[in-house]
Structure 1
Amino acid sequence: MFGESFRLFRVLGFEVRANVSWLFLALLITWSLAAALFPFAFPGLAPSTYWLMGLVGMLGLFFSLLFHELSHSLVARAYGLPVGGITLFLFGGMAELQAEPKRPGEEFWMAIAGPIASVILAGVFYLAAVVMMALGVPQHIAGVAGYLGFINLLLAVFNMVPGFPMDGGRVFRAALWRWSGDMRRATLWASRLGQGFGLLLVALGIYSFLSGNFIGGMWWFLIGLFIRGAAIASYQHLVTQLALKGQTVRRFMTTDPVTVPSDTTLQDFVDRYLYHHAFDIFPVVRDGRLLGYTSLRQVQTVPRDTWARTRVGDTCRKFGEAHTVDADADANEALEQMQRSESSRLVVTEGDRVVGMLVLKDLLRFLQIRAELEQG
């Protein structure tokens, strides 16, 4: 949603990534602490001291967000739910669950684990501040620990707002799910509450902006838009999962894919394939077995005067696992694979043989028809 993310490290078996937007947040937090909050709370210190306090405060927030998301991830793993990793971004962090919980109890404990962890961490930081003050540690050093205690308490309270997909919204969904027995309906109402909360923050942001609080108003506005968008996207993601549940790739694949025999010359490939099919890539086969793929880009790497005697099989490239899928693979997993690889087409195989092509627009067409039938 916010562009590229880069890998930081692995902890307890989970890959931790930071979105590029987190860099902006880290700089903003460090600056606001060093230039405003700490000079106001502890006047008379050297500028370098304030910047060091700001840096420690930012790193403490990084640790706090990671601790919060790790708690979600550990509980999810205990229930057998796959977690793709943890990503920190502009508005906080996210444990990337790759499957929905199967029971309301799983949803409840997975959701509540984050706020509980933040409350515990708030107590630890507050206790550390009290101990440091008792030991005669300078007040401004203990003040950084006190600040982190407050931030963790605020993080727990804010996340318990009952708006999906925030932690409180997931707790609310778990309660509705247990009461109604219908996960989809529970998600719909939790999502609507999340959208409403997002709009409330947007309105608060506009009011703050018009009242002269430009920076605060901008943040409330952006956070509100993010929460509303996330609530809508979370519900749509669930609807998609339910619609494709139990379906395999074989159900949606095109069974007569356009493939290029490996002994085809590049000149024939250009004349018979590139000019007639608006595809980015073409699977290359030999006796029905997948060798790799070719494309306009591969052709451009070969001198034009050799096209008539150069074979496609000599210039094709190997497919990565991200661009092929087994015919009996789960359709939901295939869709997520397309999203991760940013590809609209997957080559469908059985062993090393090409049996079809899975095209994103075919999946989307099925989902559209399914949604219209259910609405009718």
Structure 2
Amino acid sequence: MAIHPRKSGTLRSAADLVAAGLLPPAAAAMAERVGQAYAVAITPTLAALMDPADADDPIARQFLPSGAELETTPEERPDPIGDAPHSPVPGVVHRYPDRVLLTPLLVCPVYCRFCFRRARVGDADGTLGPDEMEAALAYVAEHTELREVIVTGGDPLMLPPGRIAALVGRLAAIPHLDTIRFHSRIPVADPGRVGESLVGALRSVPGGPAVWLAVHVNHPRELGDEARAALARLADAGVPLLSQTVLLKGVNDRVEVLEALMRALVRHRVRPYYLHHPDLAPGTRHFRPTIAEGQALVRALRGRLSGIAQPTYVLDIPGGAGKVPVGPVYWNGAEATVVDPWGTGHSYSE
């Protein structure tokens, strides 16, 4: 499958980042070393959101290479969520009884420094060829227990709209599927791609499975004018929108930031879905808060936001055992008490 040509202006090297004023010249050698290990790309849209004068800029922290990425801790692993042992054919990951991941390509418009597939993304050779795609679709068709296909990568919206429409059509022809879900950074990282042809490719086929789009966004500043317009084009076309957010130290690990993000998402017709605890990807320790810190943040959100703005805080168990909620617990059955969002206990007898 062909992918879109590289967008002019995307920053891909240490020299690009220095020339754009996003890194000081003294950091060029470090950025080169990081780039040799893990792919680097920053779109003009995201570069424009960065404040080079702010050492703690939350947008820059997500995408600019850091020397900390070269430090791997003992608990980190190249395949933290167990894709490889659950891949029966190339491009398919089958970890749950009723759904599979389909990864038609491994390239992205931008490379997040905390990515759990960072050891694999950026590989143009990871794009499925015609025979591999046929084998992947045959696997989905043969497994009648499947109800959902999650198209991910890489970023599947890097495919040309015609290829996306063809893939939706092939999946829609599989009678046991109820849902096709795409996961993408495109509406935030490269919103100009979200034109009429792409939006049309993501519309559900009449009588077929519903097509949903999960948008990865971590900070309210990522929802600039262009991103909001892209989300509006999708929502206006009837594409149901979800969000995925990774809880990241120094980016969104304050309740005020998470509250602003969730409010902005709901305002722009995106239902907050998952708040991910960071995976144990190599060189990402500097991004990971503790689960206890995450639970405290989610508890604080409960008292600030309505139910439709509450994401589920989840941990993807290392090795492929799947995602589980790890949010705070409010009910204490032994003491017959329930804690309200502000921390006060109340008796509740059954």
Question: Same-fold call, TM > 0.5?
Answer: no
Q: TM-score interval w.r.t. the shorter chain?
A: under 0.3
Which of 1 and 2 has greater Rg?
1
TM-score, with structure 1 as normaliser:
0.24
TM-score, with structure 2 as normaliser:
0.25
